[in-house]
Structure formats: C-alpha cells, structure tokens
Structure 1
Amino acid sequence: MRGFDLTPYRRSTVGFDRLFDLIENNARLQQGDNYPPFNIERLSDDRYRVTLAVAGFRPDEIDITAQQNLLQVIGRKDDSASSDRSKFLHVGIANRSFERRFELADFVRVEKADLADGLLTVDLVREIPEAMKPKKIAINGGKLVEIGNDRDAA
C-alpha cells in the first residue's frame, strides 16, 4: 500500500489529529495477513456488527477486550495439538493463533458477542451521552432558553 501525505490536510484542519494518525498507522500495519477473515456491517445508524470466521476455535480459546476506542479479538490455539496433525493428509482449515484490532469511534461500546457455526459475531452500539447531543437554543428577549427542557425559563 502506498504511503499517504496528509500534511496539507493537517495544516487546514483542527481537531482531526486522531483520524489522521489512524489512517497513517493503518497504512503502515498492512502486512497482508488476512486471518481470520471478517465482515463489518452497519445494522442501523447507531448499530454495527463485526463477524469473524473462526472455524475450529472454542469460546475459551477466544478473548475479546474492549477499551476506549479499541476492540481487540485474540484467538489462542494450543501448540501441543499440532502433534495430532500427523494424521491429516491435507490441512486446509487454518488453525493458528491470531490477533485482530478494530479502532472504534467515540461512544461505541460492545453490546454482546456470540460464537456459532464457526462465526464470531460482536455487536456494537454507539451511545452518545445526553450532554454531548446537540441542543437547539432559542433567543427569547435577550435571554437564552433551551428548547426541549421542561424547566421554566426564569
């Protein structure tokens, strides 16, 4: 993947440093390892689903960690099981450990995770705190009055 020169955008924008850092870091980390394959779906305006194909993994072999702006999925396979591979004539199902990281937007949290039929689904929801939601402000005789509140303007 080619490098990006985001300098012109950094000079003419304010507050987008985190976004530019994510783009640059993601471009550097592209190593071609696409295991396990995954999908990202938008279910609605504030709901998302990440689906990873993790055939052969049990729930106790997968760790999901959510922290501020990061979802990390780690699958660990026991190396002692590799001695059983001598019985196979062909091994086409990947059975190796992995780590996948997904950068999350602000206020996105993990709602639930399920493992069924070799697919791990992680449902995400964006919940913007009430204090962060935009509010209409009416100008009433020189006083500012918030619209939508049940409080009386004094």
Structure 2
Amino acid sequence: MSNLSLTPLFRRSIGFDRFNDLFDYAMQSDTPNYPNYKIEKTGDNNYRIVVATAGFNEDQLEINLENQLLTITGKAIEENSDSTVEFLHKGIASRSFKLSLRLDEHIEVQQANYENSLLKINLQRSVPEEAMPRKIPIGRKTNEQIETSKTE
C-alpha cells in the first residue's frame, strides 16, 4: 500500500505539495498510539487538542511550536522499585512520549491547561483578510472606472 501515488491529483491542484506527505505519514505502520488524544472542533474557527496524560505531573510535560509543528513531550520519572509492592495489573502507562501534530498555516495556539490528567490545548484559526475568499470580477473596465483611474 506504500506505492500509492497521488500524482494525478496534483495535475489539478496548486499548493498541495504537503498533501502527499500527509498521506505517506498516515500510511506508516508505526504511527504512534500513545498517549491517547482527541481533536475537537469547538466553534467555526476554534479547536481543542486533548491529550490523556495519566501518571504525569504538569512539570513533566512540555509543549513546543516550531514551523507549524506542535510537539507535546512527556518525560516520565523513574519509579523507585519498592520490593514490598507486587502489581497484579499495571494498566497506567508511565513511559515517556513525544506527540507531533502539524498545524495549518493559519492555526494559532491560544492557551494550554492541565486538569485531571488531561492536557487541553486551545487553537484558533485566524485567516488574514488578504487570504479570505473574494470574488474576482470579469469584464472590461467601465467608463466610470477609466475616469477614476485617470484622476488618480
């Protein structure tokens, strides 16, 4: 399945060069599944990433943003092995992790909160006016537009 080619799609698109990289990343078999996380849309231009970080303290977590790549890192502290404790089931993972998510160019990180072992990162889409959709008129200049341009 790694031989999937999206070349025919690129013939009718401009500026979607990273789209192919996204598919290549998604097709990899070693896609990380730890820690669990979800991405929520909380409004028209608002999003939230929620990462389940059970077993971590706030000071063990780090969030970095560089070149639109949001990286969430958790550094586990080595547990002192207590010889009097015998685990019957150890279901809380306490291993270090690094979760990377690529953000769209107009997505900005607003804030991050840590509560009840959940790391919540609020994002907002801020599209500048020049990047907003606009209608392009078709046709010749009217007499009114010609006179206006002569006076300028």
TM-score > 0.5, shorter chain as reference? yes
In 1, Cα distance between equivalents of 2:44 and 2:133:
16
Structure number with bigger Rg: 2
Q: Which moved more, 1:111-120 or 1:85-94?
A: 85-94
Q: 1:88 and 1:48, CA in 2 relative to 1: closer, same or farther beyond 3 A?
A: farther
Show the counterpart of 2:18: 18
Identity %: 34
Amino acid at match of 1:55: A
Show the counterpart of 1:142: 145
In 2, Cα distance between equivalents of 1:8 and 1:84:
60
Which has the larger strand fraction? Answer: 1
Q: 1:77 and 1:43, CA in 2 relative to 1: closer, same or farther beyond 3 A?
A: same
| Deviation at residue 67 of structure 1 after TM alignment | 2.2
Q: Show structure 1 runs of 5+ residues with no match.
A: 146-152
Q: 1:12 and 1:86, CA in 2 relative to 1: closer, same or farther beyond 3 A?
A: farther
Q: Show structure 2 runs of 5+ residues with no match.
A: none
In 2, Cα distance between equivalents of 1:47 and 1:88:
45
**How do 1:78-117 residues align onto structure 2 when only pairs under 5 Å count?**
78-79=77-78, 81=79, 83-84=81-82, 87-89=85-87, 90-117=89-116
Contact 1:57–1:75 under 8 Å retained in 2: yes
Show the counterpart of 2:71: 72
| Deviation at residue 32 of structure 1 after TM alignment | 5.0
- Count of residues in correspondence between the two structures: 143
CA deviation vs aligned residue, 1:8-40 (integer Å, no higher than 9, x gap): 212332221112222223323x41531111111
In 2, Cα distance between equivalents of 1:32 and 1:104:
17
**How do 1:12-51 residues align onto structure 2 when only pairs under 5 Å count?**
12-28=12-28, 30-31=29-30, 33-51=32-50
SS of 1:93's partner is coil
Provide the TM-score with structure 2 as the length reference.
0.80
Task: Give the root-mean-square deviation of aligned CA atoms.
Answer: 2.5
Provide the TM-score with structure 1 as the length reference.
0.79
Contact 1:66–1:109 under 8 Å retained in 2: no
